[in-house]
Structure 1
Amino acid sequence: MSGGVALVLLGDVMLGRVVDEALTVLRPAQHMHRVWGDCLPLLRGGMAATGEQQLVAGNLECAVTDAEEKEEKEFNFKLSPANVDALTTARFDFASLANNHSLDYKEQGLHETRRVLAAAGIAAAGAGTAGEAAAPALVERGGCKLAFFCYSDHYETWAATERRPGINYIRPETATPEAVAAQLAAAQAAGADLTVVFVHWGPNWRWRPSKAIQRLARTFVDCGASIVFGHSSHHIKLHAMLRSSLPLCCVTHEAVVCL
């Protein structure tokens, strides 16, 4: 193994509503860079040190679909499949679909989202049937194999089953180490060097995570997660170093938990 990987983690990436409308005006694809502004050079490799390869992963807070039928809720976000270049322009490698917007346009929207992302070369996890939603996405970069697991604590009514597609739902108050360990074991079985957990949890605009969320973060780490990346609050909260056991062949920083 040589080199290494610079892992760039993005929270809630919402490209729907007026953003999607603007993207439609900005076509063709060479104008998509304007969506990201001054951040684009960082997303295109600017975070990597000499000899490293960069990997960009984010929580995609919208469906990628032309579907019209939508869930009855306050906010429904979708990106037109014709505008998926907005993600490839930023060199997205992985998108988490475990959140409260993946099914904004129902099952049809979710199915199309997964198809469009796959066709664009963007790995995804956290949604589908129960087995699909719980399975990790495996991404190799810089001589390192990373396993991405994705969870969301809302909405429970969107929880995936084997018969009905949905999200990989988890309830922080009742999640057990046994259940978490059973899912994360797939990373070791796949020979992953690094296990990354994306979690869409907690209400918006809370300054501190609940005790249940903090306990679940510790559970993820105890069950093998190297990085726990929380999002949903709409602002930066806190991070903690719970252990320092990342394989140095893959990354250059200690393990972190971002709540």
Structure 2
Amino acid sequence: MVSDALATKPARGHIPEDRITLFLAGDVMTGRGIDQILPHPVPPRLHEPWVQDARRYVELAEAAHGPIPKPVAFSYPWGEALAEWARAAPDLRIVNLETAITTSEDWWPAKGIHYRMHPNNAPCLDVAGIDCCVLANNHVLDWHYRGLVDTLLTLEHARIKAAGAGPDAARARAPAELPVPGKGRVLVFAAGCGSSGIPDEWAAGSDRPGVHRLPDLSAATLEGIAAQVQALKGPRDLAIASLHWGGNWGYRIPPAHRQFAHGLIDRAGIDLVHGHSSHHPLAMELYRDRLILYGCGDFLNDYEGIGGYEEFRGDLVLMYFPTLAIGSGTLLRLELVPLKIYRLQLKRPAAVEVEWLRARLDRECRPFGLTVRHVSATHLRLERL
């Protein structure tokens, strides 16, 4: 079972040397409407069936909740998350960046939605202290191969590691290596599945840029990942599998996802499974004391004011702060911080909204023998039943 250290909270601002605390989030979309309110927006023309101007998404958010002063500071979209990062002081911050960083005008014609942020707006990632952007998703090539290459170069220039995409298959498959001075190293192995909407043509080739797209969730695919992890993982390394899989809405966990996540822990030595693609948080599981996040939900987007799927409350998002034991990978603690997207910024939700999210997460986690409880009026914690 989970270590008794799950209930032991280190002093604020100090993380002991035998453990690593991470910040994890699901989809971060800083393009389109959010890009338009930042200081250096790309031209707003879109190639969507219903919206042809990215500024329309700003108008929808303003119609819902009031005016947004423009341009905003690079720190603006993160809002209250900035204070939470300062409080929790995680060793590393890892997100799924679902936005190309490019001025390319060569949009992928077979897709109806195209996200991009101007490279000169990349400081918004720097001000958030992001250490690693997972790119194995269904939007990083929205602006074709040049868009991906621009994204990789921009992140490299900003000294932010990338995982799950690259200029060729070998580098798309390679993990991001994130050293934590005095503690060890975190390896982020990232991949995406067709079930999340990643086109077949986006798979990186021997001489073609692209994403690390898994052909399936078979035993052979699992063994390929296991061989790679075992060849690279050292005794003080923690290995994360960051997977873009499944649809956008609904709480059902496909049995194949659960089987594959268990296999990553059993066969590959993965210490934490970081799932994303769903627009709202999904169930969590502890398997052999390792944390599985089946779907982290969106963290930042420009969907505010758009109707549909209100029952899932996609405007309520989560910050995940897992603390893992170095050497064993055991989960010691998982703190959850609810926030709300409001005026294209992360704000504190009302108490009733925090309780709604806690109850929904608790409902989904109970079949896995877990419960979600309040630590305070604004913070939650995962525990065993």
- 1:182 match: 227
**How many residues are aligned here?**
249
Provide structure 1 residue ranges, at least 5 long, that are not aligned to the other structure: none
Aligned: 1:200 with 2:244: yes
CA distance in 1, matches of 2:88, 2:193: 30
Cα RMSD (Å)? 2.4
Pick from 284, 289, 300: which aligns with 1:244?
A: 289
Corresponding residue to 1:140 among 170, 179, 183? 179
Aligned counterpart, 2:99: 62
Write the distance in 2 (CA, Å) between the matches of 1:149 and 1:13.
18
CA distance in 1, matches of 2:255, 2:333: 20
Q: 1:144-186 CA distances to partner (integer Å, 9 max, x unpaired)?
A: 2000010100323211111211111114443533222123224
Is the 1:15–1:79 Cα contact (8 Å) retained in structure 2? yes
- Residue equivalent to 1:76: 114
Q: Tell me the equivalent position of 2:39.
A: 24
Preserved CA contact (<8 Å) 1:146 1:193 = yes
Amino acid corresponding to residue 149 of structure 1 in structure 2? F
Instruction: Give the partner amino acid of 1:210.
Output: P
Match of 2:145 in 1: 107
- The amino acid across from 1:120 in the alignment is A
- Cα 1:149–1:68 change in 2 (3 A) is same
Normalising by structure 1, we get a TM-score of 0.88
Identical-pair percentage:
35
Shift of 1:215: 1.2
Question: What's the CA shift string for 1:233-253, capped at 9, x where partnerless?
Answer: 111111111123753479883
Whole-angstrom distance in 1 between the partners of 2:92 and 2:328? 11
Q: Confirm or deny: 8 A CA contact 1:56 1:94 kept in the other structure.
A: yes
**Aligned match for 1:233, one of 273, 278, 285:** 278
Radius of gyration: which is bigger? Answer: 2
Aligned AA for 2:87? G
2:135 aligns with 97
Cα gap change, 1:171 to 1:216, in 2 (>3 Å):
farther
Unaligned runs of 5+ in 2: 1-15, 41-69, 291-323, 335-364, 366-385
Does 2:76 match 1:34? yes
The answer (yes or no) to whether the contact 1:152–1:199 under 8 Å persists in 2 is yes
Instruction: Give TM-score scaled by structure 2 length.
Output: 0.60
State the partner residue of 1:253.
Answer: 331
| Worse-superposed segment, 94-103 or 134-143 | 134-143
1:219 is matched with which residue? 263
Q: Which whole-Å CA distance do the structure 2 matches of 1:69 and 1:127 have between them?
A: 19
